[in-house]
Amino acid sequence: MKQIPFSINTVKELHNCIEQVREESRSLHTASVLVSVFMDASKKEMLDDIRKAVQAVFPEAQLVGAVSSGEIVNGNLMDKGVVVNFTLYEKSQVRVLAYDFRESDSQKAGADLLAVLQADKDVAAVELISAGFHLDINPFLSKLSESCRKIVFFGGLADDGSLGQNGMVFTHGQSVHHGVVAVVFSGSSLHVKAVSSFGWKPLGRTMTVTSMDGDYCLRSLDGRPPLEFFERYLGIHNTESFLEESLVFPFYFERHNTVLARHARRCLGDGSMMFGADLKEGEQLRLAYGDPGEILDNAMEIQDKMASFQSEGIFMVSCVARWMLLGSDTVKELTISRHLAPSSGFYAYGEFMRNEQGEIMVSNMTLVTVGMREGVSQGRQSNIIPPAPKLKKHRSIMAHLVRFIEMTNRELEETNRQLKHQAQTDQLTGLFNRGETEGNLKTLLERTLRNGQEMSVIMLDVDDFKVINDTYGHDVGDATLKLIADILKKNTRKGTDIPGRWGGDEFFVILPETTRYVAAEIAQRICRSIEQATILPDGTNITASIGVVSADREDTPGTLFKRVDEALYAAKQVRGKNDVVVR
């Protein structure tokens, strides 16, 4: 495999580059050729010339590309130029496929491409380049997520820099303004490694998506238009400069254990916002800010991983917001891997990546670096470790301010965590207090009834607790309650069951996904454990009475509590204490 990228501005330069590649290809036994083209919108008139020139010399070559807002070649950033990258494969095959979503809907296109991947056991990677503002890409990606986990997916959403226009992706014979072009890399000796870099950190409080209009229009956060949060916390208003100012402050969230970001692409008159990638009602978002120092630290990690992989060619896709944040320091992020292998790529308004669960998704603010080679690795590619890049003075100052914000934010989060814990917790026993237990009962009962599951509850009362307090003092009474709390913790599932202090000497335990019979066994075990614990000064055993019930379809939190309270009363008054009654 050999990768040969060029930056050009004229057709004459193009012909010189093609001639150079032809000379170099004569020494290779070339099985397939991929030509990747990324160009500024002002250079679109060169596309036909590029197509014709490539076909004249390499008639079997596969061509793919896009109009983009920035181009990458050998660790350099081009602005308003053209990148033409030739990748020559000696053993592997490359196929370029186009899917116009106006002719074939998103899900069907995904199913068609999935069939291609399933028919070829040697597929190693797929590059996806899409065009189309608010393209319905999710059904397409969902189908592809069913493909073999070993396949690496990468690429991005192309845009001509106009933020909201459809852009364009293309192959040798087709231009697509509303769809996807896919490059399928296949070969038993083809090895691929993908590494991503983020560098954005959450800022401020968590907000809940309360209303969406489709997948891409965010109507409200915590019941308020999202613009209000940009105005309040960042001083960014819906003016002509909104997109430029807000682009580097995305929303940060987790989905399926993967950190993702979303930057706004348009603000509407009512304060709602349009995004290039999807959000879902109920997701928890926070605003985020970029850390220039961490971004460059991540670049050093990418360099080290790629050096160990021994790439023969590198493909890169980076979010345009990284360029806006780093400015002239952008090249320092790109050049960190320059000495490892030839590289090319483009700046996108959304990056495709695959998580550990095999899901293919869209993110923002990410740099995706993909190395390829044919054959086995010969060890570390380079022992040369470039010096860590240094930020320019004004961005160095910004990095220090970012550090200050991060530490202040951590301290505030810890304070809020402690306050929340105090508000939820009974100070004596460390269990949930009554208010939090009631809230959990309501939530879990609703979920149980909605999903048709089982749920049981236990209510416990210490026998003759007033006598213990009056005879031995409140210190012994407090120790008794702590002992029972410890017994409840030991006999319930951490992170699933919810033991709480209901008040005084009463305790309440919620047992999700638990039948009446299992709950009865747990209650008997708790009852015997309390009786066997000798804590009173005269050696007298402590006992407790317990009621157990399971939720019915007609139950509300109030009726469920009433029924378990009646079972507890029967255990204490009818059975004569130190017993369990199951209703």
CA dist 484 and 486 (Å) reads 5
Alpha helices by DSSP H, listed for 319-392, are 320-326, 330-334
Q: Which residues on neighbouring strands pair with residue 169, listed in sequence order?
A: 66, 176
The residue ranking higher by pLDDT, 420 or 196, is: 196
The residue ranking higher by pLDDT, 368 or 573, is: 368
Task: Label residue 273 by pLDDT band (50, 70, 90).
Answer: very high
Secondary structure letter of residue 512 according to DSSP: E
Range 521-550 average pLDDT: 91
Range 382-402 average pLDDT: 59
CA dist 450 and 458 (Å) reads 21
Q: Is 317 left (phi over 0), alpha (psi -120 to 50) or beta?
A: beta
Which pLDDT value is given to residue 265?
84
Q: Cα-Cα-Cα-Cα dihedral of 337, 341, 346, 350, to 10°?
A: -60
CATH of 434-582 given 3.30.70.270, 1.10.10.10, 3.40.1530.20, 3.40.50.150? 3.30.70.270
CA dist 230 and 248 (Å) reads 12
Range 511-517 average pLDDT: 94
Which pLDDT value is given to residue 427?
87
pLDDT exceeds cutoff 70 at 377? no
CA dist 177 and 470 (Å) reads 82
Task: Label residue 378 by pLDDT band (50, 70, 90).
Answer: low
Range 66-82 average pLDDT: 89
Which pLDDT value is given to residue 252?
93
Which pLDDT value is given to residue 160?
61
pLDDT exceeds cutoff 70 at 269? yes
Which pLDDT value is given to residue 388?
64
* C-alpha distance from residue 526 to each of 91, 428, 464, 510, 521 (Å): 68, 20, 17, 14, 9
Q: What is the sign, positive or negative, of the torsion defined by CA atoms of 482, 486, 488, 494? A: positive
Which pLDDT value is given to residue 307?
84
Long-range interactions of 471-478: CB distance < 8 A, separation 24+: 472/536, 472/537, 476/535, 476/536, 476/537, 478/428
Which pLDDT value is given to residue 331?
84
Long-range interactions of 115-118: CB distance < 8 A, separation 24+: 116/184, 117/144, 117/147, 117/148, 117/151, 117/184, 118/147, 118/148
Q: In what order do the strands lie in the sheet with 2-8?
A: 2-8, 82-89, 32-39, 62-67, 169-171, 175-176
Which pLDDT value is given to residue 401?
59
Structure token digits, residue 188: 């038993």
Which pLDDT value is given to residue 366?
92
pLDDT exceeds cutoff 80 at 41? yes
Task: Label residue 384 by pLDDT band (50, 70, 90).
Answer: low
Judged by average pLDDT, the poorest of 161-165, 349-353, 465-469 is: 161-165
Cα three-residue angle 183-253-200, rounded to 5 degrees: 80
- The total number of residues shown for the chain amounts to 583
Judged by average pLDDT, the poorest of 79-83, 112-116, 360-364, 462-466 is: 79-83
CA dist 548 and 570 (Å) reads 11
Average pLDDT of every residue of the chain: 89
Q: Are 144 and 153 in contact (CB under 8 A)?
A: yes
The b/e string for 502-533 (b: 16+ C-beta within 10 A; e otherwise) is beebbbbbbbbbbeeeebbebbeebbebbeee
Share of the chain above pLDDT 70, in %: 93
Which pLDDT value is given to residue 256?
86
pLDDT exceeds cutoff 80 at 389? no
Residue 85 burial class via C-beta count within 10 angstroms: exposed 0-12, middle 13-18, buried 19 and up? buried
Please enumerate in sequence order all residues whose Cβ is within 8 A of that of 152, keeping only pairs 6 or more positions apart, or say none.
124, 125, 126, 192, 193, 194, 354, 370
The b/e string for 86-120 (b: 16+ C-beta within 10 A; e otherwise) is bbbbeebbbbbbbbbbeeeebeebbbebbebbeee
Closest CA to 126 of 311, 370, 374, 303: 370
Which pLDDT value is given to residue 286?
92
Give ranges for CATH 3.30.70.270 in the chain: 434-582
Judged by average pLDDT, the poorest of 241-250, 354-363, 514-523 is: 241-250
Range 432-444 average pLDDT: 92
Residue 13 burial class via C-beta count within 10 angstroms: exposed 0-12, middle 13-18, buried 19 and up? middle
pLDDT exceeds cutoff 70 at 165? no
Residue in the block written with tokens 């009654």? 581
CA dist 534 and 28 (Å) reads 85
The b/e string for 319-347 (b: 16+ C-beta within 10 A; e otherwise) is bbbbbebbeebbbbbbbbbbebbbbbbbb
Closest CA to 460 of 529, 365, 517, 405: 529
Closest CA to 313 of 377, 373, 375: 373
Judged by average pLDDT, the poorest of 114-118, 330-334, 465-469 is: 330-334
* C-alpha distance from residue 16 to each of 24, 52, 79, 84 (Å): 13, 14, 21, 12
pTM: predicted TM-score of the whole model, two decimal places: 0.70
pLDDT exceeds cutoff 60 at 549? yes
pLDDT exceeds cutoff 90 at 530? yes
Q: Cα-Cα-Cα-Cα dihedral of 315, 321, 323, 325, to 10°?
A: -140
Which pLDDT value is given to residue 34?
98
Please enumerate in sequence order all residues whose Cβ is within 8 A of that of 553, keeping only pairs 6 or more positions apart, or say none.
449
Share of the chain above pLDDT 90, in %: 62
CA dist 135 and 115 (Å) reads 22
- Report the SS3 class of residue 477: helix
Per-residue pLDDT tens digits for 134-157 = 788 999 999 999 999 999 999 999
Judged by average pLDDT, the poorest of 27-31, 65-69, 409-413, 473-477 is: 409-413
Q: Are 500 and 437 in contact (CB under 8 A)?
A: yes
Q: Give DSSP secondary structure letters for 401-418.
A: HHHHHHHHHHHHHHHHHH
Which pLDDT value is given to residue 403?
64
The residue ranking higher by pLDDT, 285 or 256, is: 285
Task: Label residue 289 by pLDDT band (50, 70, 90).
Answer: confident
Closest CA to 352 of 319, 320, 303: 319
pLDDT exceeds cutoff 60 at 379? no
pLDDT exceeds cutoff 70 at 400? no
